[in-house]
């Protein structure tokens, strides 16, 4: 592993020439969309300010691959990475490897963040990481095509979405064979867990496991939600959707080849970029309802300091800087990374760059958590069992009802005597 890190890491900031006490901190950055660049930029600003050196470790872009790599590092008690970027569903099972930031980050700084996100980062009283940005699933759509096909608003229900997507797809395919009605994350990985949870909750089918730890997946609404999603494949979504992650879906939408896309907010800044074919033609709405409610899965990333780090003091300073308001503001404006600091949702510059941060504020505050809290150390197994089952339904191997019944049994086995 040491070798792998040396190969992909690069020094981004050497501002230490005049600072005899400079330390080197290695920061693991994500690589989805503009993530890597913005992470490097922030690290560089901190390095310049403090005279320290930051090395960047480039993480793979699928969250499951990142987790695998980080778990290897942490299990080996490696000191190679000082600051890790943690997915909101990880603190529960990675807590033991991270420094308790309570008391080390001033309480006023901690309390400026949404309480729910601080809670998600607090495991048995330990503050495992500081929130960096939050995420919620959104529906992106083409405003120009909405108008062209005579629709007045984004779809409010999945039924409406399917009807609209199929009309636009039929029309556009006359001149563009690769045009798709709806693109989303259908590959078997954590991203599918996120999309599929949105379907379940929107149909009133629960959250796989409820907040008390009870397995709730075996119900008719959940089955209906999965069957509905399966019906989109090869009708309004291309067969290939079962291999898409976030970036594949974004690539199709941004090149002008889709009417609707489910994605995280980061897709906005890129879609409005100068090299985007859909610049100025993008609308953002809540994901449709399946009859129960509009549902967005809560995502997001935090920064934690490894207990194996040899430079903990400097690493904590880096985390405070990156998770602080100035840096969150820059990232919100340049990359549409949703701040975790509540006050920033009133910032005029941020709202100007991302109008939907204001108009869809309630989507962000009512986003639904995956069951990582109640399933604790077993969350990853639960999520993998869920996404594999969903994948079987999408690929036509099973119908919804049989799938949720089987999954319920599998989850009971994973749960054993308790989570
Ligand atoms: C985004 C979310 C994260 C989620 C991942 C799934 O990165 O922020 O929470 O697990 O997507 O692909």
- Cβ–ligand 1 contact at 184 (below 6 Å): no
What DSSP string runs through 22-84? --EEEEEE--STTHHHHHHHHHHHHHHHHS-EEEEEE--SSHHHHHHHHHHHHHTT--S-SEE
Domains identified in the chain and CATH numbers: 8-128+299-365 (3.40.190.10), 138-297+370-415 (3.40.190.10)
Q: How far apart, in whole angstroms, are the C-alpha atoms of residue 247 and residue 80?
A: 28
- Cβ–ligand 1 contact at 191 (below 6 Å): yes
First-to-last C-alpha distance (Å) of the chain: 31
Residue 93 reports pLDDT greater than 70:
yes
Tens digit of each residue's pLDDT (9 = 90 or more) over 329-370: 999 999 999 999 999 999 999 999 999 999 999 999 999 999
Answer whether 377's CB lies under 8 Å from 93's CB: yes
Residue with the nearest Cα to atom 5 of ligand 1? Answer: 191
- Give the predicted TM-score (pTM) of the model: 0.95
Tens digit of each residue's pLDDT (9 = 90 or more) over 365-417: 999 999 999 999 999 999 999 999 999 999 999 999 999 999 999 999 999 99
Q: Given this model, what pLDDT does residue 16 score? A: 47
Helix (H) or strand (E) holding 391: helix 379-394
Residue with the nearest Cα to atom 9 of ligand 1? Answer: 299
What are the φ and ψ backbone dihedral angles of 53, each rounded to 5 degrees? -115, 135
What are the φ and ψ backbone dihedral angles of 272, each rounded to 5 degrees? -95, 5
Q: How far is CA 193 from CA 125, 135, 371, 384, in A?
A: 28, 14, 11, 8
Beta-sheet pairing, 130-136 with 138-142: unpaired
- Cβ–ligand 1 contact at 88 (below 6 Å): yes
Between helix 325-335 and helix 35-50 the angle, nearest 10°, is 150
Residue with the nearest Cα to atom 4 of ligand 1? Answer: 299
Beta-sheet pairing, 282-285 with 298-305: unpaired
Q: Which residue has the tokens 């695998």?
A: 68
Tens digit of each residue's pLDDT (9 = 90 or more) over 72-86: 999 999 999 999 999
Residue 115 reports pLDDT greater than 60:
yes
Neighbours of 119 (CB within 10 A): 11
Q: Given this model, what pLDDT does residue 187 score? A: 98
The mean predicted confidence, pLDDT, of the chain is 95
Tens digit of each residue's pLDDT (9 = 90 or more) over 132-175: 999 999 999 999 999 999 999 999 999 999 999 999 999 999 99
* 215 exposure class (CB count in 10 Å sphere: 0-12, 13-18, 19+): buried
3-state SS of 364-376 is: HHCCECCCHHHHH
Tens digit of each residue's pLDDT (9 = 90 or more) over 13-70: 545 445 678 999 999 999 999 999 999 999 999 999 999 999 999 999 899 999 999 9
What DSSP string runs through 107-165? HHHHHTB-HHHHHHTEETTEE--EEEEEEE-EEEEEHHHHHHTT--S--SBHHHHHHHH
Could you give the 3-state DSSP secondary structure of residue 265? coil
- Cβ–ligand 1 contact at 299 (below 6 Å): yes
Q: Given this model, what pLDDT does residue 2 score? A: 39
């Amino acid at each position: 592993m040491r070798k792998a890190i040396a190969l992909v890491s690069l020094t981004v900031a050497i501002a230490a020439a005049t600072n005899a006490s400079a330390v080197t901190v290695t920061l693991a950055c994500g690589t989805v969309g503009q993530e890597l660049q913005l992470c490097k930029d922030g690290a560089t600003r901190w390095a310049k300010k403090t005279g320290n050196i930051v090395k960047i470790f480039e993480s793979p872009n699928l969250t499951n691959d990142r987790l695998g790599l980080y778990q290897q590092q942490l299990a080996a008690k490696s000191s190679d990475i000082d600051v890790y970027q943690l997915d909101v569903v990880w603190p529960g099972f990675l807590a033991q490897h991270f420094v308790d930031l309570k008391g080390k980050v001033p309480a006023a700084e901690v309390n400026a963040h949404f309480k729910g996100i601080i809670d998600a980062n607090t495991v048995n009283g330990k503050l495992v990481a500081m929130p960096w940005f939050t995420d919620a699933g959104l529906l992106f759509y083409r405003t120009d095509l909405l108008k062209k096909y005579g629709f007045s608003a984004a779809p409010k229900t999945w039924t409406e979405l399917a009807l609209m997507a199929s009309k636009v797809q039929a029309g556009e395919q006359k001149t563009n064979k690769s045009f798709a009605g709806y693109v989303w994350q259908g590959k078997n990985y954590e991203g599918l867990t996120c999309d599929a949870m949105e379907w379940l909750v929107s149909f009133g089918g629960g959250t796989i496991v409820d907040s008390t730890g009870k397995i709730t997946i075996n119900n008719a609404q959940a089955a209906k939600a999965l069957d509905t999603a399966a019906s989109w494949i090869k009708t309004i979504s291309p067969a290939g959707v079962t291999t898409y992650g976030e970036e594949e879906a974004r690539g199709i939408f941004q090149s002008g080849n889709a009417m609707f896309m489910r994605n995280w907010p980061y897709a906005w800044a890129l879609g409005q970029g100068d090299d985007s074919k859909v610049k100025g033609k993008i609308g953002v709405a809540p994901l449709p309802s399946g009859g129960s409610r509009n549902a967005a899965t809560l995502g997001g990333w935090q920064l934690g300091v490894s207990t194996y780090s040899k430079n903990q003091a400097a690493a904590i300073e880096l985390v405070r800087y990156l998770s602080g308001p100035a840096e969150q503001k820059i990232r919100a404006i340049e990359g549409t990374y949703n701040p975790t600091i509540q006050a920033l949702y009133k910032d005029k510059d941020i709202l100007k760059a991302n109008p939907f941060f204001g108009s869809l504020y309630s989507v962000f505050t009512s986003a639904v958590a995956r069951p990582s809290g109640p399933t604790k150390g077993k969350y990853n197994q639960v999520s993998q069992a869920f996404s594999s089952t969903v994948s079987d339904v999408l690929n036509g191997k099973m119908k919804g009802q049989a799938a949720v019944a089987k999954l319920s049994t599998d989850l009971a086995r994973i749960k054993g005597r308790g989570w």
